[in-house]
Structure 1
């Protein structure tokens, strides 16, 4: 069994990084969606949501970088290019969203997609003994579960 630089099975790790690349694509599409919400939001909640979306896209761009670096650490190459992201992502591009409730509903739907996918990848990583990926995704899941609760409370 051939090992990568950090001592994990190369073949099994390749399958994991393929899934991480799909997750990276999801994050890139969500990042651009949230960036668009930040730019285009209108209405009486403008100031509050404009700031919230900036907080979100700042967090998302950090996660994009962390995922890409994790893929490199595991011995693979992160995908790049928006055509590839759109082809791989399970999160759809949303355009011209200007209304706050609609934007938040899009974010919540994206979080549901991310949470399901991240739990599946976390299980795979755990089975491979890949504690680095487990820790990374565990932190993402915890943060997004709380954010989901808060965004749902905002919509009430």
Structure 2
């Protein structure tokens, strides 16, 4: 591949990509967790939660592609294995199948965790004048803040 000359230093591109890798890992881990809960939710709120979780994991499926492509745009390989995601993600796997209210609480905390990852990555992008990464990260942060609010409202 030819040299990248988009007005962002190599050092900054690498730092931003590292922040985006953590966001990608969080997003993919949250995608898997949400999909798992979609499949396994039971109880009086089954239909509502089943459909809401589907909306969330569908949105996350698109997001992970956007984040990975931004990492590639910065000239860095995007992580794509469970091992890499487990090492990078702030979201931990859940053992077993929690009850519906615990699923909502777990997902709320996970979305809030992704917001914190976004905030860290956003600082790197803003300091490097990387408006493209900052816009992507800001958009993701808004989605996760809103989703956490909607989940909290069901409790």
Please give the TM-score of this superposition, normalised by the length of structure 1: 0.92
2:121 aligned residue: 121
Total equivalences in the alignment = 153
Q: Contact (CA 8 Å) 1:42, 1:98: kept in 2 or not? A: no
The reply to whether residue 24 of structure 1 matches residue 24 of structure 2 is: yes
In structure 2, the partner of 1:91 is: 91
Identify the residue that residue 151 of structure 2 maps to in structure 1: 151
Matching residue of 2:45: 45
TM-score w.r.t. the length of structure 2 is: 0.93
Which residue is equivalent to 1:109?
A: 109
Which stretches of structure 1, 4 residues or longer, exceed 3 Å deviation after superposition? none
Q: Which runs of 5+ in 2 are unaligned?
A: none
CA distance in 2, matches of 1:24, 1:76: 13
Match of 2:13 in 1: 13
Root mean square deviation of aligned Cα: 1.3
Any stretches of 5+ residues in structure 1 without a counterpart?
A: none
Deviates more, 1:33-42 or 1:92-101: 92-101
Deviations 1:107-127 (A, max 9, x none): 111111111110121111011
